[in-house]
Amino acid sequence: MERSRRLAGGILAAALVAAAGAGGCAEAEVERMSSSEKPREAASQPAGPAGREVATFGAGCFWGVEVAFRCLQGVTETTVGYSGGTFKNPSYKDVCSGRTGHAEVVRVVYNPAKVSYERLLEVFWACHDPTTPNRQGPDVGSQYRSVIFHHNAAQAAAAKASKERLDRSGRFGRPIVTQIAPAGPFYRAEEYHQQYLEKRGRASCKTPP
């Protein structure tokens, strides 16, 4: 039963990401660029509440990636934003310029007693193509790069080991280009990006029977 549930969740995650890529971030440039919201303040090395841990992943357009993690049992909070750059308090327009160095990421708060970091890594690998540098489907640019920002030594070791295993397995047919780097300042994206697909009725955490 649990294995079937996990497989269903993986299929859902892949489908949502594919849908977001097919008509997602690149298609919505006008809407997103026209936002008048002000840049968010940074949360450097954000910590989760007691009994929770934080993970940060970049896997292309963050809309579908957020849904993939929100649908995972044990995840208590997800936030989309920008990380890995040098510009303070970037807006979406700044990040889209390609000059800030930020990636679109999802900050995941999870209960390690209910879901392991290794399981989060499985969802990460399943919900995008980690062999295409600075690109996911029609979305092109360094902000769409595949990246894991680790928050401690254990996460760093697990991420590197997972990447090495997948590379050796030949599962993707090409070398994995995913970056693995220490987590730095995280900037919350504009409010209209948060749970973007859910707000538009294009996502649900219900899995197939």
Indicate the burial class of 196 (C-beta count within 10 angstroms; 0-12, 13-18, 19 or more). buried
Q: Which runs of E-coded beta strand occur in 1-142?
A: 42-44, 53-59, 75-83, 103-110, 135-136, 139-140
Q: Give the active site residue among 61, 71, 96, 127.
A: 61
Residue 55, beta-bridge partner list: 108
Is 16 within 8 Å of 59 (Cβ atoms)? Answer: no
Choose among 150, 48, 73: nearest CA to 105.
Answer: 150
Establish whether 61 is a catalytic residue.
yes
Catalytic residues: 61
